[in-house]
Amino acid sequence: MNVFGVDIGGSGIKGAPVDLGRGDLAEARHKVLTPHPATPEAVADGVREVVEHFGWSGPVGVTFPGVVTDGTTRTAANVDKDWIDRDARRLLGDRLGRPVTVVNDADAAGIAEMNFGAGRGRHGTVILLTLGTGIGSAVFTDGRLVPNTELGHLELHGHEAEKRASTKAKEDEDLSWHHWAKRVRKYLAHVEMLFSPELFIIGGGVSRKADKFLPLIEDIRAEIVPARLQNNAGIVGAAMAAHSESGAHIGASAVTAEGGAA
């Protein structure tokens, strides 16, 4: 079965039909640049452009880079503040003319990785971190998602963690892989102190270059691996959310302890 997924990021809006049997894209994804300012109306137009590129007419799952509760976006760290307390499900549904499910972007990526990727079959506490424009997080305990954790906003040495350890911070400050890896290590050590996970999964576009920085991260007890679905995880997770009966129930019922769909 194919379902459409869209991943809204700080720099790009990308989407594609997803084969839920394989947990992979059914067609090559289409991407448009995220508008600046990233107002709800402008982003909705971008989402529509991506969906219409494929001539898609069925339900659509959409990720959002912030807290999402029952289709309403509650925070907006890396997009326009007009997203705060916006009924995104209604906005996008009206713009697309079809049913839309909205889910936190890192939660969507985490669900995809737990079902089809690096977290499949893993028990205990697993934390996926997406390193990109910001830092997204998805926390699982025995396969169950704790939604909207937003661990990128933890304070680290007097700074918001994502301002120091995101991929954007690396690019903005022109950091070497070695220097940036030291920052990521400090961040992982802080998260490990709080949650004691068995596994960290590192996602986002930078996961394609995991060999350049993961070997530089030492003194972390948890296993650290790159996301297997890499930067497509959000699209896959969005499609999974759209396929479930309600995006609001995704944290309670979408993932089993075995890493399969409930």
**pLDDT at residue 157 in the model:** 86
Residue with tokens 């169950």: 144
135 with 109: CB under 8 angstroms? Answer: no
Q: What is the C-alpha to C-alpha distance for residues 78 and 251, in angstroms, rounded to an integer?
A: 23
Superfamily of domain 2-107+232-253: ATPase, nucleotide binding domain (3.30.420.40)
Contacting residues for 6 by C-beta, under 8 A, at least 6 apart: 13, 14, 15, 47, 50, 51, 60, 61, 62, 63, 235, 238
The pTM (predicted TM-score) of the whole model is: 0.90
Q: What is the C-alpha to C-alpha distance for residues 195 and 114, in angstroms, rounded to an integer?
A: 18
pLDDT tens digits, residue range 177-202? 999 999 999 999 999 999 999 999 99
Q: What is the DSSP string of 192-206?
A: HHHH--SEEEEESGG
Q: Is the pLDDT of residue 253 over 70?
A: no
Total residues belonging to the chain: 262
Q: Which CATH architecture has domain 120-228?
A: 2-Layer Sandwich (3.30)
Q: How does residue 65 score in pLDDT terms, banded at 50, 70 and 90? A: very high
34 with 132: CB under 8 angstroms? Answer: no
Q: Could you tell me the residue ranges of all domains in the chain?
A: 2-107+232-253, 120-228
Q: What is the C-alpha to C-alpha distance for residues 9 and 31, in angstroms, rounded to an integer?
A: 10
**pLDDT at residue 10 in the model:** 86
Backbone φ, ψ for residue 165 (5° rounding):
-120, 5
Structure tokens at 249: 């129930």
pLDDT tens digits, residue range 213-230? 999 999 999 999 999 999
Order of strands, sheet of 72-73, starting from the edge strand that comes earlier in the sequence? 68-69, 72-73, 86-87
DSSP β-bridge partners for residue 129: 137, 202
Contacting residues for 66 by C-beta, under 8 A, at least 6 apart: 73, 74, 75, 76, 77, 78, 79, 83, 104, 150
pLDDT tens digits, residue range 79-135? 999 999 999 999 999 999 999 999 999 999 999 999 999 999 999 999 999 999 899
